[in-house]
Chains A and B, each alone.
Chain A
Amino acid sequence: MERRSLTATIFIHAFALLLAAVIVAPVIWLFVMSISSTADLTAKPLHWWPETVDLSRYTRLLTAVANTEGAAFVAALFNSLRVAGMATIAALLVAIPSAWAVSRTPTVGWSLYAVIATYMLPPVALAVPLYMALAALGLLNTVYGLALVYLTILAPFTTWLLKSGFDSIPREIESAAMMDGARLDQILRLITLPLAAPVMATAALFAFLLAWDEFFYALLFTSDLRAKTLTVAIADLAGGRVSDYGLIATAGVLAALPPVLIGLFMQRALISGLTQGGVKG
């Protein structure tokens, strides 16, 4: 658009800035809260920027001294990493073959829709059966039990995402490989999966985020440091008689870091994964 008028250009940039502000503002406020002293946070009128930068809460949360908020937080951080990591890997292991099968065999496509349909149920409807099942298996309050529950949420979602990724890879390529003498596992390993790498990265990241952010089941199925995840730990910080808003904000910032780092790390793959199918060739 070479011929855009000055007003239109200003208009477009103004709205781009507004959109960015709306999206970024809460995050910035979260960060500002985490480095403000309690006095600054409770002052009237509110101090939008703290008079002194206070990083003490970060050290408080990232300590390993037993029986402190820090110990609980760090344990929860590792629990979250383990649960989300295990659930994501397991979900991909389930989703890759099933998505490929559904994509290449349209006649079994209904099964995926049936699975997606269970997705429509509110989590609370499944809470009791899941609780009883986990209790029977002795998996309550374990990271494995929680990862198993998350797998049931992640697998349909990743399968669905991967299916559309596989759909965009022409079947002719696989036919050609088949005639070239490649076995099924060779076709998948050498041709299809490398081509689907961007969408697999996207699926993995979204699955990880979903598991990382999950609160309801984590709250129900975990009870102490052995399995409690970050979302529950943050809620615990707010659950006492005196809530330190700065501390909650700090926990929020720290909880956001791992997914952000993973996202940055996979940025290139992610963007091509998100735009795949929209652009040809």
Chain B
Amino acid sequence: MSALDIIGVRKRYGTVDTLKGIDLSLDSGEFLVLLGPSGCGKSTLLNIIAGLAEPTGGDVRIDDRSVVGVHPKDRDIAMVFQSYALYPNMSVERNIGFGLEMRKVPAAERAEAVKTAAKILQIENLLERRPSELSGGQRQRVAIGRALVRNPQVFLFDEPLSNLDAKLRMEMRTELKRLHQMLGTTVVYVTHDQIEAMTLATRIAVMRNGQIEQLATPAEIYERPTTLYVAGFVGSPSMNMLDAHIADGVARIDSSDVVIPLPYETSAKGRPDQKLVLGIRPESLRLASDGEAPAFEANVEVVELTGPELVISATVGQQRITASLSPKSDIQAGTRRRFALDADALHIFDKETEKRL
């Protein structure tokens, strides 16, 4: 059963089209991440779901009920804001229970619900404090508790971890994942952090310029990005993009004599001299053993050990390429080495349409 449907939602501010027709449907219990750079419209979409903004066109349905024009409090949603938006003049307990208080839930029942939420989030000992007496991570927990206690149909998160430092962010990320697994709630989560998106989501909607570029599971987004944009946005270090063209049924990398064989269906469909972009994930490259193919030679320029991996910067012809190897690899800067890749690790895009071939 779908918990949330967004049908042809458009939003226009003055002459600017912030959202240009968004369609998506979310099953109950799904964790959808809206991923994109700032200004792509992801926060606007979240605000439209929340009811803090109204769409210029289209429909938003929660639990199969149109909520366009419905007041946020009547939408059966709860939202966690980037700035936490706690009430500074109230204790943590009242902060969490405020939604129930406003809905005239009896005090005893309210206290019980607050206690349960606090227990889940491990903030039982903080209930008497004021938000100003809490650390960033604790405030975040209170903000989540405030959403949790209302037991809404859909949870909305607006970049909830971006105000935390790196270590805490990782902890809270795991915590959110644990919560979602435990409670099985439906979540819409906005972020520009691809790692958050990959780890948390059951599905990711990569957004760009007010449109959804690709809507798929994290694995699919990573393994089969449908456009150059998605390919470049997800993955760290980001995917190598080599300019190439079709020559005699194979891809020849521009400004070099390196050729990479193309899958039959690509070369059959391709025009001669068609311009391509070859996407190769740094982690799918490895040092080639003798006679291994497909492989190509590259000039190794920089070798960086990050701990779990060895990041190589090299050049193929005039083009830069990054490879992420095992830290035990025997490789030095200033040498010329052969790198191999699996044929199915090659992502081939048309340079003009930026679409996957």
Contact B89 A180 (CB under 8 A): no
CB pair B73–A179 under 8 Å, yes or no, is yes
State the interface size on chain A (CB cutoff 8 A): 18
- Report the minimum CB–CB distance from A140 to chain B (whole Å): 45
Q: A181-B102, A182-B102 are in contact. Are A172 and B72 (CB under 8 A)?
A: no
B80-94, CB under 8 A of A: which get 1 and which 0? Answer: 011101111100000
With A180-B99, A180-B102 given, is the CB distance from A172 to B85 under 8 Å?
yes
Task: Please report which residues of chain A, range 147-186, place their CB below 8 angstroms from some CB of chain B when the two chains form the complex.
Answer: 170, 172-173, 175-183, 186
CB neighbours of A129 from chain B (8 A)? none
Question: How far apart are the CA atoms of A191 and B52 in the complex, in Å?
Answer: 18
B85 close to A176 (CB less than 8 A): yes
With a cutoff of 8 Å between Cβ atoms, the chain A residues found around residue B81 in the complex are 172, 175-176
CB within 8 A of A179: which of B78, B86, B87, B88? B78
Closest residue of chain B to A173, judged by CB?
B85
Whether, in the assembled complex, B146 has its beta carbon less than 8 Å from a beta carbon of chain A, the answer is yes
- Shortest beta-carbon distance from A157 to chain B in Å: 26
Question: What residues of chain B lie closer than 8 Å to A170, measured between beta carbons?
Answer: 83, 85
**Are A177 and B132 in contact (CB-based, < 8 A)?**
no
Contact B83 A179 (CB under 8 A): no
Chain B residues near A177: list those with CB within 8 A.
87, 98, 102
Contacts of B146 in A (CB 8 A): 176, 180
B162: min CB distance to chain A, Å: 14
CB closest residue in chain A, given B87: A191
Binary B-proximity of A170-213 (CB < 8 A = 1, otherwise 0):
10110111111111001000110011000000000000000000
**Given the complex of chains A and B, what is the CA–CA distance between A256 and B98 in angstroms?**
45
Q: Indicate whether B79 reaches chain A with its CB closer than 8 angstroms.
A: yes
Which of chain B's residues has its CB closest to A170's CB?
B83
Q: In whole angstroms, what is the CA distance A240 to B296 when docked? A: 107
Which A residues are within 8 Å of any B CB, using their own CB? Answer: 170, 172-173, 175-183, 186, 190-191, 194-195, 281
Beyond A172-B85, A173-B85, 7 additional pairs, beta carbon < 8 A: A173-B86, A175-B50, A175-B81, A176-B86, A176-B146, A178-B72, A182-B73
